[in-house]
Chains A and B, each alone.
Chain A
Amino acid sequence: MSAKKDKGLYLSDRPPLTTLKVILLGISYILLFFYVFIVLWPLSQILFTSFNGNQGSYIQIGGTYEFSTKHFDYLFQETYFLNWVLNTIVIALATAILTLIFVSFTGYAYSRYRFKGRKASLMAIMLIQTIPTFAGIAAFYTLHSIVISIAPWFSRQLFLILIYAGGGIAGNTFILKGYIDSISTELDDAARIDGCGNLQVYRLIIMPIVRPMLAVIALWSFIGPFLDFMLPSILLNDPKTYTLATGLNTLITDQYNMHQPVFAAGGLLTAVPIIILFIALQKQLVSGLASGAVKG
C-alpha cells in the first residue's frame, strides 16, 4: 500500500488524544527536559572546566575558554593520581571477585538446599541489611588490632576490601537466590543424572544461566569502591594508599592545595574504568537467557 493512502488512517493502538491529554503530554515533556538539564548541565561543566586553561584554583562560571590539558598534566605529575587509580581498581576488582565467589555459593545454597536454620539465617541477612556499612568501622577497630598482631602484613586496604565485600554479600545473596529460584529444579535433576556433582551442577548449568545477574552484581560491587568516600577516608592514613574518591578530595578540601579544575579532570577520568567494564559486560547484562529451558 502506498504511503499516501496510509496517511488518513489512524494506526496507533492507543485511543486518540484529547486536548486535555495533549496539554498534559506537553507538561510531561517540559518536566522531562528540565530533568535532563539538571543531569546534563553539571556534567558538561565538568567537561568544559577540565579542559579550560583559563581556570585557576577555583572553578569560575562564565569566564573565557581556552583549550588546554594543563589540569590533566598537573593531575598526573603533581599528585598520586596513578596510585589512586591503581588502588581503586585493585580494591574494586578484589571486591567484585570476592563478592561473586561468596554470593555464588550462598545464593545457590539458599535456593537449592533445605537445612536447619535456613529461614532464620535468611531473616538475619535481611536484618543485617538495615545496618549501614558505615557501622563496619566498629568491626574494623575490633578486628584490626587482633589481626595485625597475628598477621602484620594485613594492610588497611585489605580490610577495606573485606568490609566492601562483606557488605555486598548479604544483599546480593538475596538477589541471586531469588534469581536461581526461578530456574526449574528439573535442570539440576537432569544434570545430576547426566553425571554432575553438586559443584558441577552450579558451574556447568546454573552459573551460565544466571550470568546476567552475576554481571549486574559484579558491576555494582566494582562501582562501589569508586563512589565511596567515607570508609577509605577513615581507614586509610597514607595519601599513597588512597582511593580515587579520597585522593581527589584532597584537591578541594585544603585551602593551600585548592585545585578545583584538577578535581573535575580527575572526576572525568574516574568514569573511564567503569565505562570500560560496562561495555565489557554489556553482552552478559542482556538477560532472557533462561527462556527455552522449559516449555514456554
Chain B
Amino acid sequence: MRVELVNIGKKYEGRENFTIRHIDLAIEDKDFCVILGPSGCGKSTLLRMIAGLNSITEGDLLFDGKRMNKVEPKDRDIAMVFQSYALYPHMTVYDNMAFSLKMRKEKKTVIHDRVKEAAELLQITEYLYSKPSEISGGQRQRVALGRAMVRKAGVFLLDEPLSNLDAKLREHMRVELVRLHKSLDTTTIYVTHDQTEAMTMATKIVLLEDGKVQQVGAPSEFYDRPQNLFVAGFIGSPTMNIFHGLMKNGLFKADDDLFTVEPNEQDKKKLQAYDGKRVALGIRSERFLAGEAPKNQITVKIDVIEMLGKEQLLYCEFPNGKECVISEPGYFEYKVDEAHNFHLDTAGLHFFSEETSERIN
C-alpha cells in the first residue's frame, strides 16, 4: 500500500507549538521506510498518527489515495509492533496472535492456519501455549511480530521494536526483519533513533529533527551526500569531522590556519559563489589518508587510540586543541602522543554553507 503524508502537522492539547508540522512524505508500496531521529523529534508521534492512535491536527493522510484522517485504527488495514511489545499478559501466545483475527470474526480454521504459519516463520511454535510472562524478551519480541503478521495488513508499523533487546539479538533480528519484510511483501514503516538500524534495514530513510524532515533518501545518499550539517553530524559512526573556515581564492582555509584544502574541480565550481564567505568542511574519518602529500596535508598529535580490530580510530588533536577522528587499518602502527601526517581525500569532502547549514557541493 502507498502511504502519503500531505502537509501533516500535530499539535497536542495544551501545548503552545506544533510538535511536528509541514511533513510531506510519500512512501511507496513495499518500501521499507525508516523514520529516524533523536529522541523528542516527533517520530513516534508521526507513526501514531499514521496508526490512528493520535489525531491529525492538519494535513491529509492518504492510503492508496484514500483519505484516512478520520478512520478508526482498526479499519485502517494496519498492524503495529510496540516498543514494549504490549502483549496481553492474561492470554497465551496463541491467543495473543489470534486476538485480532478473533475480533474480526474470522473462521477458527483460518485463524489456526494463520497463527501456525506465523509461528513457524518466527520459530515460536514451541511456546504457543505459554503465557508472555514465561518466555524471554527475544521470544516476546517475536510474538509481538507474529501478532502483527497474522493480520496480513497493508502497512506494517514498528515503533522501536529492537530497543529492548541485547546487542547480539538486535543484530540478529535486524536481518530477520528485513527477511520478514521481503516475504510479507507489505509496506513497512519503522521508527528508530538508532542510525545503524536505519542504515542497514531501510530502502528509504526519513530523518526528522525538530519536527521537520531534514532529508529523505536511500541509506547510501545519507552517508555520501548529507543535505545539511545536522544530517552530516547525525549519520555515521564515528561522527563526521566538521571544520569551520573561509573560502579564499578557491581554497578552503580552516580557522586558526590549521590547514588549507584545495577542493577538486567539480567542488570548485560549486564553491565559486562562496568565495570570501564562511563555509564548513565535513570529512569522514576514513577519508583521511596516511602519509605526506604536497597538498591538503594536516599534522596532528594522537590523543587516544580505539582499536576495533579491522580498523583503529585515532582521536587526534590539532595544535590549537581542535579534535578530529581518523580511522586507519588495524595493522598500521600508531602510538599515543605521536605526531603524524595525514592528507585529505578530495573526493570525500562535504561543503556546507555556514549561513544556512545546507550542502553546497
Residues of A within 8 A of B (CB): 114, 184, 186-187, 189-196, 200, 205, 208-209, 289-295
Contacts A186-B84, A193-B51: A292 and B89 contacting too (C-beta < 8 A)? yes
A115 CB → nearest B CB, Å: 11
Q: A293 contacts which chain B residues (CB < 8 A)?
A: 84, 86-89, 132-133
- 6 of the cross-chain contacts (CB-CB < 8 Å) are A184-B86, A194-B147, A195-B74, A292-B134, A294-B84, A294-B86
The interface on chain B, measured as residues whose beta carbon lies within 8 A of the other chain's beta carbons, has a size of 33
A295 & B84 in contact (Cβ 8 Å cutoff): yes
Across the A-B interface, the 9 shortest Cβ-Cβ residue pairs:
A292-B133, A195-B103, A294-B84, A194-B100, A293-B89, A186-B86, A208-B90, A190-B86, A195-B74
From A200, A208, A209, A294, give the contact of B85 (CB < 8 A): A294
Interface residues as binary, B82-116 with A (CB distance below 8 Å gives 1, 0 otherwise):
11111111100000000110011000000000000
> Contacts A189-B80, A191-B99, A293-B86 given; 14 further ones with Cβ under 8 A?
A186-B86, A189-B48, A189-B73, A189-B82, A192-B74, A193-B51, A195-B74, A195-B100, A200-B103, A289-B89, A289-B90, A292-B133, A293-B84, A294-B87
A192 & B86 in contact (Cβ 8 Å cutoff): no
Q: A186 contacts which chain B residues (CB < 8 A)?
A: 82-84, 86
Contacts A195-B103, A291-B133, A295-B140: A190 and B90 contacting too (C-beta < 8 A)? no
- B348 located at the interface, meaning its Cβ lies under 8 Å from any Cβ of chain A in the complex: no
- B343 located at the interface, meaning its Cβ lies under 8 Å from any Cβ of chain A in the complex: no
A193 & B80 in contact (Cβ 8 Å cutoff): yes
Q: Find the A residue at minimum CB distance from B72.
A: A192
- Docked Cα-Cα span, A200 to B72, in Å, equals 14
Residues of B within 8 A of A (CB): 13, 48, 51-53, 72-74, 78-80, 82-90, 99-100, 103-104, 131-135, 137, 140, 147, 164
Most B Cβ at <10 Å: residue of A186, A196, A205: A186
B99 & A184 in contact (Cβ 8 Å cutoff): no
Q: Find the A residue at minimum CB distance from B76.
A: A193
Q: A295 contacts which chain B residues (CB < 8 A)?
A: 84-85, 137, 140, 164
Q: A290 contacts which chain B residues (CB < 8 A)?
A: 89
Most A Cβ at <10 Å: residue of B13, B86, B100: B86
Q: A292 contacts which chain B residues (CB < 8 A)?
A: 87, 89, 131-135, 140
- Docked Cα-Cα span, A146 to B132, in Å, equals 54
B74 & A193 in contact (Cβ 8 Å cutoff): yes
- Docked Cα-Cα span, A292 to B72, in Å, equals 28
- Docked Cα-Cα span, A289 to B134, in Å, equals 11
Contacts A186-B82, A187-B86, A295-B84: A194 and B74 contacting too (C-beta < 8 A)? yes
Q: Find the A residue at minimum CB distance from B105.
A: A195
Contacts A193-B73, A194-B103, A295-B164: A187 and B79 contacting too (C-beta < 8 A)? no
Q: Find the B residue at minimum CB distance from A295.
A: B164
Q: B132 contacts which chain A residues (CB < 8 A)?
A: 292-293
B88 & A192 in contact (Cβ 8 Å cutoff): no
Q: B78 contacts which chain A residues (CB < 8 A)?
A: 193
A66 CB → nearest B CB, Å: 54
- Docked Cα-Cα span, A220 to B82, in Å, equals 37
Most B Cβ at <10 Å: residue of A191, A192, A193, A289: A193
Q: A291 contacts which chain B residues (CB < 8 A)?
A: 89, 133
Q: Find the B residue at minimum CB distance from A207.
A: B90
- Docked Cα-Cα span, A136 to B147, in Å, equals 50
Q: B73 contacts which chain A residues (CB < 8 A)?
A: 189, 192-193
- Docked Cα-Cα span, A112 to B297, in Å, equals 62
Most B Cβ at <10 Å: residue of A184, A190, A200: A190
Q: B140 contacts which chain A residues (CB < 8 A)?
A: 292, 295
- Docked Cα-Cα span, A195 to B76, in Å, equals 10
Q: A184 contacts which chain B residues (CB < 8 A)?
A: 84, 86
Q: B84 contacts which chain A residues (CB < 8 A)?
A: 184, 186, 293-295
A277 CB → nearest B CB, Å: 22
- Docked Cα-Cα span, A291 to B90, in Å, equals 9
Q: B90 contacts which chain A residues (CB < 8 A)?
A: 208-209, 289
Most B Cβ at <10 Å: residue of A194, A200, A209: A194
